[in-house]
Structure 1
């Protein structure tokens, strides 16, 4: 019997959305411009697509409330990187962007209970 949405999954989704909001504000304060958020295609989802001068930046955001399952950066696996690269090509095609410079970044958000979140931007992470 299904009693509705899984509360743990809803909480994780809310934490992830909160981390993406923090990441977007952090990157905007550094001068980047958000072009897309949570863009979906058959290869997966792109958390943030931004412009940084003459570059299109595809940014994966990882938010954690602790490191019991590893650091946020450690969760960006080779398989995830491959999916992001494929999705990025789809985004460029869908938005009719010809050749351009691209960069792949990761923003990690570590937000332990009762502490201020730590936001780290890793430009050119992969």
Structure 2
């Protein structure tokens, strides 16, 4: 369940939910909340031999657009820069194919969270 008492705990709960979901789909966690001066990566996972950079977005309602739509061009660019830094610092993953996925989570009162996994959501 997602705790909505604070924005930070909501984000952590959403990331934990997404991570558990992806593990159930066969992905393995490399790291989470990896950060550098230029940005942060919510989840970095391995899908077979592909390094997957996962952006987790949570929205309680879609009044200002849904969770998936919030990963705009500017956010995509920041994720690409952070992913590039990750691959430079963690050189063992540098030769693997990569992709960017989005887990969009929506949550209406009195119902379980709905996860939408968008594989290969955008290109670097």
Using the size of structure 2 for normalisation, the TM-score is 0.90
Equivalent residue for 2:63?
Answer: 68
Q: How far 1:99 sits from its partner (Å)?
A: 2.1
CA deviations on 1:40-66 (whole Å, 9 max, x unpaired) are: 101111000000011000000001111
**RMSD over equivalenced CA pairs, Å:** 1.1
Instruction: Give runs of ≥4 in structure 1 deviating > 2 Å.
Output: none
Equivalent residue for 2:47?
Answer: 52
Q: Which has the larger radius of gyration?
A: 1
Please state if 1:114 is matched with 2:99: no
Please state if 1:19 is matched with 2:19: no
Equivalent residue for 1:3?
Answer: none
Q: What is the aligned residue count?
A: 117
Equivalent residue for 1:104?
Answer: 100
Please state if 1:92 is matched with 2:87: yes
CA deviations on 1:92-119 (whole Å, 9 max, x unpaired) are: 1111133220010000110122211001
Matches within 5 A, 1:31-50: 31-50=26-45
CA deviations on 1:43-91 (whole Å, 9 max, x unpaired) are: 1110000000110000000011111121001110100000100100111
* Unmatched segments (≥5 aa) in structure 2: none
Q: Secondary structure at the match of 1:123?
A: strand
* Unmatched segments (≥5 aa) in structure 1: 1-9
